[in-house]
Chain A
Amino acid sequence: MDPITRIHSRTLVLPATDIDTDQIIPARFLTTTARAGLGRHAFEDWRYDADGTPTAHVLNQLDPGDHRILVGGHNFGCGSSREHAPWALLDYGFRAVISTGIADIFTANSLKNGLLPVVVDEPAHRWLLDNPGAEIDIDLEACVVRLPGDREVAFHIEPFARYCLLQGIDQLGFLLAKNDEIAAFERQAGPDVSAATNPN
């Protein structure tokens, strides 16, 4: 993964609250066994009519390459655990999602793929919703969003995930390096813990 320190782009605003992962990537596209190419179907049912005609949705009016920061309504990414949702958003062109609340599993999945989940306070969110297309800066090193007019809004990202993103490393390596500790844990674990699931 490439290191991420800063994202500078215009925003694309989807103000609806509770945008769930079925909207981000409808389930019928989950039959893939790869992770590439899902951007084509991101928000498919918002972007296309039943007969495949593009709708007038804002997503169809803006160039994804110029709008890499998605501002969504509260509780973004709720619903299923499908990692296909951040895969689709990244493939579509987004690099960050900003909201007042982002669902737990979606957050975890995004952090593992280099899509920044940024939770900001209500006033900043209101400003972003009211100013679609604003050119803003997300600074992962300082954990601040910079809005026009030198306004800075702090955000929090789980420190280990942030470290991995800044360094461009994945978390699996960290876990694999724990092999001896895991083996020791398995040896001393009491009954019930790590008990085989296969028929006795």
Chain B
Amino acid sequence: MVNQAKSMFDKIWARHIVSPETADTPAVLYIDLHLTHEVTTPQAFSVLRDRGLGVRRPDLTLGTVDHSSPTTTAGLRGIATADTPQARQILEFERNCRDFGIECLGLDSEHRGIVHVVGPEQGATQPGKTIVCGDSHTSTHGAFGALAFGIGTTEVGHVLATQCLLQRKPRSMAVNVGGVLPAGVSAKDLVLALIGKIGVGGGSGHVIEYRGSAVRALSMEERMTVCNMSIEAGARAGMIAPDETTFEYLRGRPRVPGGAQWEAAVARWRELASDEGAAFDKEVELDASALAPMVTYGTNPGMVIPVDGRIPATGDDPALQKALEYMGLEPGAAIAGSPIDIVFIGSCTNSRIEDLRAAAAILRERKVAAGVRLLVVPGSQAIKRAAEAEGIDAVVRAAGGEWRESGCSMCIAMNGDSVGSGKYSVSTSNRNFEGRQGAGARTLLAGPATAAAAAVTGRVTDPRELMV
């Protein structure tokens, strides 16, 4: 008998097929939510203008500004008159949104923030949807049981003009995470450990579904952290079946169905989970109970070890030799105790309120080590306000850290916030590529508690030592 059991990915994919895939042509896949920002859209809007096309469904499109936006109040005040490429890009995006009838949470919106933080916060991200954005970390939205993936600018143009994409169905991969995350070990550590295990190309061509007891126990914010990093394993998307945790997070948010429609929506969303016995092209097992706080030592997220571990010997691996040379780190050395210069807490991976609380718990009544700079950048203006209401800004400032306006900031170093050549940064973002945080920057990726611990000791530190 054929296996009739369907995975969540199968169900969502099937429901969005406008015309099916054939040997000659990919499927035409309908997109329910198109998130847009200033960096990957200008050339797409130019194509629309050149060809006299409009946006087919502005009501399914939402814009915000994040990558190039200033995170200082002075920078924000000066933007209208600043003659910088960043300012021009932001203003052009806001103008494009106006011209094409797209709702834009622009620089003066109290709802703006990093696109992958804003979508869920606004309730625009919902289970069962197909969601795209010209940004690889669109995988974040899969935490809600949506099929969400990054696209290039040409495809942004396709979605603007037709609300559809030409796609061949990717393969599927189940990542089963059993056990329980130990105290002091975060969702970031979980996903870094996974990438360390399967490698930065380990998910290529696949959509990952994260399953198992340790995944079910995660909050929505933690689930977003995990799905966010799916792309760092090369996966097309990452997703987690919606459950009570998902529905509780979404209930009452601005863009979710209200009243009687809410119950009906939840009932439909419950049907999305993979059927018992659904087949996956690949399966990977991970035991959460065995994990420790993780930190990267190299120049891609797969070069990662437990914070109490040692940097591997390079042997005759040229990639590792090149990485350690760039990082200025010794093969075989312990990573704990390595001196650092900058700590960045932010990005679509770890800039939500729970992340800021985890960092603040370490920073409270402590000081940032001499010579170290700490930058805390909330993922959205709403998170910034929520954190300020709890006094987190005061904790950061009292420790000697900088408290900023929302944006991508030092995750990508496009807006002027950058680490500096040769300097070491412990960062809660998602990429430690050469130069990612500015030319010559040396990035060590970690979770928020590990980053905060490094800020106060000035060295790579196991955060559990400061948690007692």
Contact = CB atoms under 8 A, between A and B. Distances in A.
17 contacts: A28-B439, A30-B414, A45-B435, A74-B201, A75-B200, A81-B40, A81-B135, A103-B204, A160-B24, A160-B166, A171-B154, A175-B161, A182-B56, A185-B30, A190-B15, A193-B16, A199-B254
Given A81-B40, A83-B152, A198-B59, 9 more contacts: A22-B433, A33-B88, A78-B234, A80-B150, A112-B152, A182-B30, A192-B265, A200-B255, A200-B257
A32 B89 CA distance: 7
Interface in B260-285: 264-265, 268
B92 interface: yes
B331 interface: no
Interface in B199-220: 200-201, 204-205
A46 B435 CA distance: 10
A185 B18 contact: yes
A31 interface: yes
Contacts of B205: 104
Contact of A112 (B88, B154, B431): B154
Interface string B32-74: 1100000110110011000101001101111000011000000
A181 B19 contact: yes
A139 interface: no
Contact of A193 (B30, B158, B412, B439): B30
Contacts of A112: 152, 154-155
A45 B47 CA distance: 30
B436 A108 contact: no
A108 B201 contact: no
B445 to A, nearest CB: 13
Contact of B62 (A171, A191, A197): A197
B88 to A, nearest CB: 7
Contact of B155 (A27, A30, A108): A108
A33 B265 contact: no
A175 B154 contact: no
A81 B136 contact: yes
A192 to B, nearest CB: 5
Interface string A152-196: 000000111001000000111011101101100110011111111
B412 A27 contact: yes
A27 B170 CA distance: 28
Contacts of A80: 135-136, 150, 431
Contacts of A172: 47, 51, 154, 157-158, 161-162
Contact of A194 (B57, B150, B322, B434): B57
B168 interface: yes
B164 A178 contact: yes
Interface in A83-137: 83, 101, 103-105, 108-109, 112-113
Nearest to B272: A192
B153 A83 contact: yes
A181 B18 contact: yes
Interface in B127-153: 127-129, 134-136, 138, 150-153
Contacts of A33: 42-43, 46, 88-89, 92
B152 A18 contact: no
B124 interface: yes
A78 B60 contact: no
Contact of B436 (A27, A109, A200): A27
B265 A191 contact: yes
Report which residue of A16, A23, A27, A109 has the largest number of chain B beta carbons within 10 angstroms of its beta carbon: A27
B25 A160 contact: yes
A155 to B, nearest CB: 16
B309 to A, nearest CB: 21
Q: 6 closest Cβ contacts across the A-B interface? A: A31-B85, A33-B42, A109-B152, A83-B152, A81-B150, A196-B59
A31 to B, nearest CB: 4
B124 A197 contact: yes
A158 B205 CA distance: 13
B163 A182 contact: yes
